């Protein structure tokens, strides 16, 4: 292994966030202002994943007060406290730059349905059907 690879291996987070393109992510970022620290939350859609290893970044996009805001966050940065995946979307492209030109409902992504685990037994309620009782009337013969 090269010297640079060994140095970078120590900087990798053990539990890096598992994000994909199209995910809506809530990123908790540590902000330092003077001597004070606070956590700021940035929620947006992942439109790009770039790089690999310790240099891997994600670009989040959101619309705030009618203005599109994008933020590039390093995944292995100590400033990134956590990244929660809010929802996953079905996408067919590696980069979602086309969302920059869309507004309102046109900018929505179709939500990805969670996979069904086939090992679990399905519990279905049995339908109870009422049996129709028919009364036969016997005709009297004279």
Bigger pLDDT: 128 or 58?
Answer: 58
**Which tokens go with 87?**
């929802």
Q: Is 125 within the bounds of a domain? A: no
Q: Is 96 within the bounds of a domain? A: yes
Distance from C-alpha of 142 to C-alpha of 135, rounded to nearest angstrom: 22
Which residues pair with residue 22 across a beta bridge?
Answer: none
Domain of residue 20, CATH code: 2.30.30.790
**2 has pLDDT over 80:** yes
**120 has pLDDT over 90:** no
Q: What is the mean pLDDT of residues 44-66?
A: 92
pLDDT digits 0-9 by tens, 73-110? 999 999 999 999 999 999 999 999 999 999 889 988 89
Q: Is 117 within the bounds of a domain? A: no
Number of folded domains in the chain? 1
Q: Which structural domain, as residue segments, surrounds residue 76?
A: 3-102
Q: Is 137 within the bounds of a domain? A: no
Ramachandran angles phi, psi of 104, nearest 5°: 60, -130
What would the 3-class secondary structure string for the chain be? CCHHHHHHHHHCCCCCCCCCCCCEEEEEEEEEECCEEEEEEEEEEEEEEECCHHHCEEEEEEEECCEEEEEEEECCCCCEEEEEEEECECCCCCCCHHHHHCCHHHHCCCECCCCCCCCCCCCCCCCCCCCCCCCCCCCCCC
Distance from C-alpha of 96 to C-alpha of 98, rounded to nearest angstrom: 5
pTM of the model: 0.72
Q: Is 113 within the bounds of a domain? A: no
Q: Is 118 within the bounds of a domain? A: no
Mean pLDDT of the chain: 86
pLDDT digits 0-9 by tens, 27-40? 999 999 999 999 99
Bigger pLDDT: 12 or 64?
Answer: 64
Q: Is 8 within the bounds of a domain? A: yes
Q: Is 134 within the bounds of a domain? A: no
């Amino acid at each position: 292994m090269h010297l640079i690879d060994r140095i970078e291996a120590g900087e990798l987070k053990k539990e890096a966030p598992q994000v994909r393109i199209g995910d809506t992510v809530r990123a908790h970022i540590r902000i330092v202002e003077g001597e004070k620290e606070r956590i700021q939350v940035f929620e947006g859609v992942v439109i790009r994943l770039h790089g690999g290893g310790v240099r891997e970044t994600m670009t989040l996009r959101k619309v705030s007060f009618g203005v599109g805001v994008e933020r590039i966050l390093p995944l292995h940065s100590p400033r990134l406290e956590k990244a929660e995946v809010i929802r996953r979307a079905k996408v067919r492209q590696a980069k979602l730059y086309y969302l920059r030109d869309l507004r309102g409902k046109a900018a929505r992504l179709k939500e990805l349905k969670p996979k069904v685990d086939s090992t679990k037994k399905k519990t279905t309620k049995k339908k109870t059907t009422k049996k129709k009782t028919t009364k036969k009337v016997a005709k009297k013969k004279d």
